[in-house]
Structure 1
């Protein structure tokens, strides 16, 4: 009997000795994300009530919320900063909104982006919520506080509930607020809030994060809305605002006349006036008048016809004035044409179609040349705006197409009016300065102005189109040089034709390359939706990247690891689909998916292989390198692709 008891005791002691080992082994067998410490949020909230002094302007009772950041974590403070997203509170006491007074944060360089400053709360941070007499009779102070916390390797938003009972509390039994160590801080925040109420609890914003709109449609879904309120604008010059066709046409005529003096148009107009000086110096009064009439008539006709065509385009497609220059192709073509014109003015070659050279005299002013030059002049005027034009266009472009065409015709007539006058009374040219050697200097100055206008159109291009456009200009310069050399009298006819063909091929090839150039295809992120994820799960090798605008760690990874070149290489080698899960705003399905992956913070990358292993994804968390990402790709998808994935490091 005694032996049996000893054996039983021995077994109990043996079992107890194994329990710590078994517990440790079980914990070690759990995924890291499943450890209890990993499930704890990096921020918590402690609450208390204090009695305010009698007659305090901020209220009767003060609710004090103490934000506690976990060791190694900091929360982004309220206030303007170059990175992170501010803390925010949404609190109510009954039907009244309670305002939270946040203390200023501590500025410091961002750990991951030292060039940016952040405002942070570390350790314990005291936040004050004054409770008025009316609010104190409410059942409770309720709501949430949302803070965005980051450590050295990851970030996570925490939504902290607030519920402080108020009903039935005796204010006199609460501890006095003025004896608390934070009283000087509260006094300063209270004074600032009373002086500027809107600054007491500013609504935190972040670039790229849409503001919250709680309005919903009948189905319970968020209704699309605009943050732009109903405005009633007042105009500084109400007399220039248009409400009828007659006034619009009159102001349009004046606006068109002034366009002749705008910087976009002045180079070409100045050259044409200089050309008129050259014509006025020709022998033969009758011939001189004929050339002047003919040139000015066709030049004005080109202006008016272009405005009519422009009205058809803008009216039919609902475009704004100058909006067509959003087309990179049009900007490249115009820059190339202007560059060719500037080269012709420098004497590199003679442009037979649109010749702006003063020395050409009457020979360069054909009907076709004058007409095309008038259209070119108006094209250059399109990006410009001037006096009277704003109010005219604001009214006109909302009218039916016949009204739009009428007003645009008035703009064209106004711009063409000086040349129409010279066409009707060519003798007025005698009031212009007499031609002379000074005109050659003017011609070169206008050439530099045209070249500068090319720079303006190049500046309209996206960055990836600038180099191809410069190549087109280089090809135009080479083609113009060859074209100019082809006119040498000592060359045979076939040789001249060959040089002209070569010049056209070079110029046309450079322009075609610039117009058709497209950058190398980049790996496209697929936007996460529950439906898109369910559709691709098990069918594709799928990589989910969990990110947010308030997560600087995520942004650092996007710039250093998940670069377009690497994604393109990885996507092509392993037929991988990259899906971005944006947690900038709390999305319940995405948050549930993140928690199902055993994570409570971001960044997180999850690798879902195609096939039967799709529900056993590989998870890569916190900061990682490109090499680690490649190894995760190889481990998750290598067996399926049959080869190792390697990204080309730029």
Structure 2
């Protein structure tokens, strides 16, 4: 007999489908039966716990395009230790979704394959996640779709209300691809210019101010050439981003969802910060402005200017200013040549202030002459860079944070080893020191991510298991309490299933597409979303708020962005699904200075159509 720790014995899965009489449509059902004493999580389960997932193998015989809906609400508990809501199922639960069968296929011969990914847990901990494969065939009874759905306890829909159809969202909200090129190019230029005003680029704008100070008194030709190299550095990044968007479908800022990218960028910014603080000197003339003021050997050169342009643009990508989303959405729906052209205009727009200074050097007359102030300013920039590293670590997956810090300590040791070498040392001596420093950095990386990451992940998993066990003995009051800031909206994690269930129940739904690395998103949350006026309007009109988080890879969030016409995947982005007409959502993007744009969109959508309890429409109820 199988032991209690055997996931196969704890959860059993069966599947079947039915066909509506006289039609090529029907319903696919997947049922999980859970052993007594165990539970699994709903599809709406927030991280770090594993949400149940159903995957259907692609087939040209049948189309399954809508989200699965559960037959009954889940049990909702508040995890006291880490403040995460738990959505659990015990006993048995069935998920259903509509399907459409190809014209030439006999339903009696059709087989639908897939798997159910679940993690079973009990009072003392959790079993490893398990994929349960299933094969669905035609139900012998072939019960009607409506009768089976009502028997399962799904909420009845308003017969006059159009159901949410994910395939019709894009048609209802055509993207910017209809705009003519002569409008898109100025829009792209303006969007690039505005990026210079975003907080993401502030750490490296200071570098450019120092460069302007160094350029004071230089010939007009030299000033123009250096600013041209700086602009080319910016342009090079935009062309790389255009390549990723045109051929890999990478959205604006989406690289920040990659742990590897964030670690590499944090390491680069960290070693730059150490250079600003005088620990070592980056071997690029004039990059940091080291050396005596006016020392030609340390003045900015082409490589330094180009590198600053690259770094400025990379750090700008977490921000998205006005017009940028529309311009990039148009770009990624066009042939590659036009995609490159639009991205290039964004780059030219961002570089335009520096090209203007290059053409008219007198514009930098306001910058003080080179002097001791530059060293003080450089040290301040060093601390700003270290603060940027802390920001990059803030949205990194928890098990990677300590290894990343350990790796940067190793990088700091390597930089210190290089910095202690005299500038008068021979070329061989300098090469030997660099090799030794590279060995220190490599050893730090191996220890940090080859060993320490595994240790931290194990500790994190154990802490989660202990917290899971502890919440079973918590009082009902503690288990159901939910604390949030006074004006914070009652956000719930986005899923296709949850959006479909809310809209089918007559709710107006606001979806916020955001990420922890998106500073513009955070600014909008403070100024427009989590605001007293917005909260009062949401509460008074029964509006549901869902948070579509792109901090880490989120396929369902990316899919909805695509269906809404946001092909570039740029954020911040907002969608309001009106009650009774969810296939015509109201879309917003850009930077907001007040809650009025959000409130106007919610007013246009109208209130929810009924005052049903949230638990009855979300598929989540609270154990009391």
Normalising by structure 2, we get a TM-score of 0.46
Per chain length, whose mean CA-contact separation is higher, i.e. which structure has more relative contact order (CA < 8 Å, sep 6+)? 2
Larger Rg: 1
